Amino acid sequence: MFRLGLLLKVSNKDWREIRSNKQILVPMLILPAAFSIVYPLIFVSLVVSNSSTSQPGSVLAILDYLIGDILKPVFMLVPLLSTLTIAADSWAGEKERKTAESILLLPLTDTELFVAKLLASFIPGLIITWVSGAIMSTIVDSLTYSLLGFLYMPNASWLFLLFVLSPILSFFTIYITVWVSYKAKDTKSAQQIGSSVMLIFIGVLASGFLGVIELVLIILTIVLAAIDVIMIYFSPKVFSRESIIAKF
């Protein structure tokens, strides 16, 4: 049984350090803002500007392509980047601040310590993702409602992305990055190595251009969910105090 109070204390410590570190906080907020505000404005403006010369059906088709096939994989960068930035600082940051020993001496089991570090990235990452999704939906609907006569977002596909794939993808990103973080010498190194998960984004973006993004997202969700379950099973061995101390 997890002692939630102690877990949240460790997570809250990480959140305070994140809020005071502009190198982490600024990218974590600026990049999601670009993907949820700037890109939707550009894409929807293209649709609106050409709506007078297009048939209603073609307007919807163009919107489906830009918002569904192109913007959807771009938006996947929000849970990727927001959790990557925090998770990279989880142990590498403790090394740089010389605070790792105090964390390891806390009266927590190895599994609780791992979960605390996971929550420190998982909770803010999901909040940022969901807020970004709400902002993007508001922008898209406010600009397209007069053309379509109905609220285009959030549709079933976007709800799946926000509430099913994003948590699964976030956990995968966090686990890999935290694992890299306690092996890396500093936060920057952890970010560089952990960013290899960005290859997922490249693959999904290619599927958007090919028009098979929905199938790819479903397959990706199943595969990552299976990997997440395997990683949870092996987490006590990977994130043991002995293995962590050996890296310092």
Is residue 194 classed exposed, middle or buried when 0-12, 13-18 and 19+ CB atoms within 10 A define those classes? buried
Structural domains counted in the chain: 1
First to last CA, the chain: 29
Contacts of 131 (CB under 8 A, 6+ apart): none
Highest mean pLDDT among 3-17, 26-40, 208-222: 26-40
Crossing angle of helices 4-19 and 77-97, in 10° steps, is 90
Q: Of 170, 192, 169, 190, which is closest to residue 180 (Cα–Cα)?
A: 190
pLDDT tens, residue by residue, 108-155: 777 788 888 888 889 888 999 999 999 999 999 998 888 888 899 988
pLDDT digits (tens, 9 = 90+) for 173-196: 888 887 777 666 666 666 666 666
Domain containing 11 equals 4-245
Q: What share of the chain is helix, strand, coil (3-state, %, to 5)?
A: 85, 0, 15
8 A C-beta contact, residue 235 and residue 114:
yes
